[in-house]
Structures are given as C-alpha cells and as structure tokens.
C-alpha cells in the first residue's frame, strides 16, 4: 500500500500539527508523508484576516488539493474550519484536544493586570480584541492593535518591542515547544476561547473508506462532543471564525461521563457590551446543546452585538 499523503500548510505550527498525525499513524503501523500546500492565508500576510475572504482562508487550498486527489488527508486547526461543513469533505477524525485556553505573551513577564497604562496588545482576532476591550473597561487600560503573521512572527514582535504583548492560543505554543513564552494563561470562563481551539481536524474525501478506517483510531470522542457543541453554537449564530464569539465545552467529570457543559460569550467588537451563557446537556446531544445556548444568546441580543459592521 502506498504511503498516505497528508496535506499541510507550510507554517511551523501546521507542520508540527501534521507531523503529530504522521507519528500517530506510524504508531498504528500506517505509513504517511507530508505534502506542503500553500494557502491564500499564508501568502497574504499584510491585509487583516477579515479582508481576505473571511472564514476558511487557511482551509480551502487544502480542501481543493483533497478534491483534486493530490492528497488523501488534510490536517487543519479545527478552529479555522468554517462552522458549516461541505458535502464532498468528511471530518474523518477529531483527535484529543490540546489545552484550549488563550494566553498572554508579554514583555518582561508582564500580565494583563501589570501591563502599564497605554500598553499595546497585538491580536488579529475580533474575538480576542473584543474580550480584551471588555476587560480593559473593567480594570486596566490598554490599546488593542492589529497584528498578522504566524505564531513565531507574533512572539518576535513582542521581543522586538513593536507590541507590549500578544494574545495566542496556548495549544499552538505547546505544539511548537514554546510554552516558556507564556506570561499569563486566561481562565476560559473569563476569556472564552474560540470554538474548536486546541483541537485538530482530519479531513478526507466523503466516502473514502480507506482513509476513514485509517484515522478512526485517532478519534477522541470527548473532544468530538465538545467541538460539536462549540461549532453548532457558532453555526446557529451564523457567525464565522472571525466573529467576536467564544465557546468552550467540557465533559463534566462524573461516574458516567454523560454530561457536557458549554460556556459561551458574544461581545460587541468595541467591548462595550457582552452576553454570556452557560448550560449543560447530555453527552450524546452535543449539537443540540450548542443550538440551545446559541438560541439563548440570541434571545439576549447577541445577534445585534456581533453583527458585522462593514465600514
Ligand atoms: N488563527 C490561527 C491559528 N489557528 C490555530 C492556532 C493555534 C492552535 C489552535 O488554536 O488549535 C492559531 C494561532 C493562534 O490562535 O494563536
């Protein structure tokens, strides 16, 4: 049998994540190799993410390569996937999640509390920007500035003094072996992560039984349930990965592991207002839980808050 071709973006993080899957398959006795695919999101590092086609810019080139049969599997950061799937592509496996929390990487070991007034915090994410502004209103004062580039670039910009701090996913730094850069890890109930953050998505062509069977052992049912709830919420809000919406689901510890909790927030982009909601439901009804929490958020005015203001 020929080696499975795994499509990956070229960034250090994408390569590390895809290599995790190559290694996991190798442990199952299955040979796989990486095929690098350049995406529009990688080529275009200058314009804000929200201007280069919104959701899914990192995803479509890999999907195109799958459909053209240039690769057999695609590995994505699950949070970069559009919240609605497409028919010819299957979410073949969701492996175990890394730490889903957001972190601060600040100069001189600083935290949100200890950053001086007027500090510049870099993020390209409307969700992070909105939650930073929300926190700023409540405690200290800082300026949120747009930033682009991959994880290494962003950390370097703090080192070079262009920003006092950046907000990143803890998972990305963990996978790059750079957790020592973290100066504060945010409580996910206070600073809510992106739906799917920390999880990987392994996609194949719909009906490709060989690939579905190969990656089935990598599936983690707790992560699948959690991200199903988080993504159902995002889809129900008709929001994409660029929306100021956070969602974080967890399997509740207990004798039967039968409960899933979901905590979500929708924030006005300027941080002037927010709506939060928490609910739990049965493990087997993750999608329904996401829809219910979204409906409650909408009833509390979330739709108006997150409405895209095209300027
Ligand atoms: N937006 C880009 C992106 N997509 C996935 C990750 C990190 C890994 C993850 O969240 O699973 C990152 C970088 C970041 O947000 O810091």
pLDDT, tens only, 292-307: 999 999 999 999 888 8
Q: Which two tokens stand for residue 113?
A: 């509390």
Mutate to test the pocket of ligand 1, among 15, 54, 57, 77 (most ligand atoms within 8 A of CB): 77
Same domain for 87 and 110? Answer: no
Which structural domain, as residue segments, surrounds residue 32? 4-95+199-219
Domain of residue 53, CATH code: 3.40.190.10
Does residue 193 lie within any of the structural domains? no
In this structure, the strands spanning 73-77 and 200-205 are antiparallel
Does residue 69 lie within any of the structural domains? yes
Same domain for 50 and 31? Answer: yes
In this structure, the strands spanning 119-122 and 274-282 are unpaired
**Residues with Cβ < 8 Å from 2, sequence gap 6 or more?**
none
pLDDT surpasses 60 at 54: no
Q: Are 91 and 24 in contact (CB under 8 A)?
A: no
Q: Are 275 and 269 in contact (CB under 8 A)?
A: no
Mean pLDDT across 147-175:
97
Same domain for 67 and 147? Answer: no
Return the bridge partners of 282, or none: 259
- Which amino acid residue places its CA nearest to atom 8 of ligand 1? 172
DSSP per residue, 246-297: EEEEEEPPSSS--EEEEEEEEE-TTSS-EEEEEEEEEGGGHHHHHHHHHHHH
The least confident of 139-143, 156-160, 178-182 is 139-143
Does residue 207 lie within any of the structural domains? yes
Q: Which two tokens stand for residue 75?
A: 């590995």
Atom of ligand 1 nearest to the CA of 168: 16
Does residue 291 lie within any of the structural domains? yes
Atom of ligand 1 nearest to the CA of 200: 11
Q: In this predicted structure, what is the pLDDT of residue 258?
A: 80
In this structure, the strands spanning 4-8 and 73-77 are parallel
Question: Confidence band (pLDDT; 50, 70, 90) for 65?
Answer: very high
- CA-nearest of 61, 73, 89, 92 to 32 is 73
- CA 195 to ligand 1 center in whole angstroms: 11
pLDDT surpasses 70 at 51: no
- CA 198 to ligand 1 center in whole angstroms: 7
Same domain for 76 and 211? Answer: yes
Alpha carbon distance 125, 145 (integer Å):
10
Mutate to test the pocket of ligand 1, among 169, 171, 227 (most ligand atoms within 8 A of CB): 169
Domain of residue 245, CATH code: 3.30.160.40
Same domain for 133 and 257? Answer: no
Q: Which two tokens stand for residue 255?
A: 């004798």
Same domain for 215 and 277? Answer: no
**pTM listed for this prediction:** 0.92
- CA 255 to ligand 1 center in whole angstroms: 33
Q: Are 103 and 169 in contact (CB under 8 A)?
A: yes
Mean pLDDT across 3-31:
97
- Which amino acid residue places its CA nearest to atom 6 of ligand 1? 172
pLDDT top residue among 76 and 51: 76
Does residue 113 lie within any of the structural domains? yes
Same domain for 83 and 213? Answer: yes
Same domain for 9 and 79? Answer: yes
Atom of ligand 1 nearest to the CA of 241: 1
pLDDT surpasses 50 at 180: yes
Average per-residue pLDDT for the chain? 91
pLDDT top residue among 42 and 131: 131
User: pLDDT tens, 25-44?
Assistant: 999 999 999 999 976 655 55
- CA-nearest of 246, 234, 208, 214 to 287 is 234
Does residue 83 lie within any of the structural domains? yes
Q: In this predicted structure, what is the pLDDT of residue 46?
A: 54
Does residue 52 lie within any of the structural domains? yes
- CA 194 to ligand 1 center in whole angstroms: 9
- CA 124 to ligand 1 center in whole angstroms: 11
Same domain for 29 and 109? Answer: no
The domain total for the chain is: 3
Mean pLDDT across 144-165:
96
Write out residues with Cβ below 6 Å of ligand 1.
77, 79-80, 151, 168-169, 171-172, 197-198
The least confident of 114-118, 120-124, 139-143, 164-168 is 139-143
Does residue 192 lie within any of the structural domains? no
Same domain for 16 and 88? Answer: yes
User: pLDDT tens, 242-287?
Assistant: 789 999 999 998 776 589 999 999 999 999 999 999 999 999 999 9
Residue listed under structure tokens 């998505």: 201
Is 220 labeled as catalytic in the residue annotation?
no
Number of residues written out for the chain: 311
Same domain for 179 and 59? Answer: no
- CA 197 to ligand 1 center in whole angstroms: 7
Atom of ligand 1 nearest to the CA of 198: 11
pLDDT surpasses 50 at 23: yes
Of 23, 42, 72, 80, which is the active-site residue? 80
Domain-terminating residue out of 185, 207, 242: 185
263 φ, ψ to 5°? -120, 130
Same domain for 9 and 88? Answer: yes
pLDDT surpasses 90 at 162: yes
């Amino acid at each position: 049998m020929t080696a499975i071709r795994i499509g990956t973006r070229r960034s250090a993080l994408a390569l590390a994540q895809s290599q995790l899957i190559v290694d996991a398959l190798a442990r199952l006795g299955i040979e796989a190799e990486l095929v690098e695919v350049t995406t529009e999101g990688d080529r275009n590092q200058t314009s804000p993410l929200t201007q280069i086609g919104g959701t899914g810019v990192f995803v479509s080139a890999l999907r195109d390569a799958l459909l053209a049969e240039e690769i057999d599997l695609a590995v994505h950061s699950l949070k970069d996937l559009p919240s609605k799937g497409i028919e010819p592509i299957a979410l073949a496996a969701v492996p175990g999640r890394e730490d889903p929390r957001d972190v601060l990487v600040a100069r001189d070991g600083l935290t949100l509390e200890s950053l001086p007034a007027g500090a510049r915090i870099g993020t390209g994410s409307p969700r992070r920007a909105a939650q930073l502004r929300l926190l700023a209103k409540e405690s200290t004062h800082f300026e949120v500035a747009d930033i682009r580039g991959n994880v290494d670039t962003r950390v370097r910009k703090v080192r070079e003094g262009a920003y006092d701090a950046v907000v990143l996913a803890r998972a990305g730094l963990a996978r790059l072996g750079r957790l020592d850069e973290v100066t504060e890890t945010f409580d996910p109930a206070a600073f809510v992560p992106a739906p799917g953050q920390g999880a990987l998505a392994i996609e194949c062509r719909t009906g490709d039984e060989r690939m579905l069977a190969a990656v089935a052992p990598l599936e983690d049912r707790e992560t699948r349930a959690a991200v199903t709830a988080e993504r159902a919420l995002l889809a129900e809000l008709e929001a994409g990965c660029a929306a100021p919406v956070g969602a974080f689901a967890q399997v509740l510890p207990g004798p039967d592991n039968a409960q899933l909790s979901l905590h979500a927030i929708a924030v006005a982009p300027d941080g002037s207002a927010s709506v939060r909601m928490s609910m739990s439901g049965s493990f087997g009804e993750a999608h329904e839980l996401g829809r219910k929490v979204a409906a409650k958020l909408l009833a509390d005015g979330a739709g108006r808050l997150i409405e895209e203001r095209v300027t």
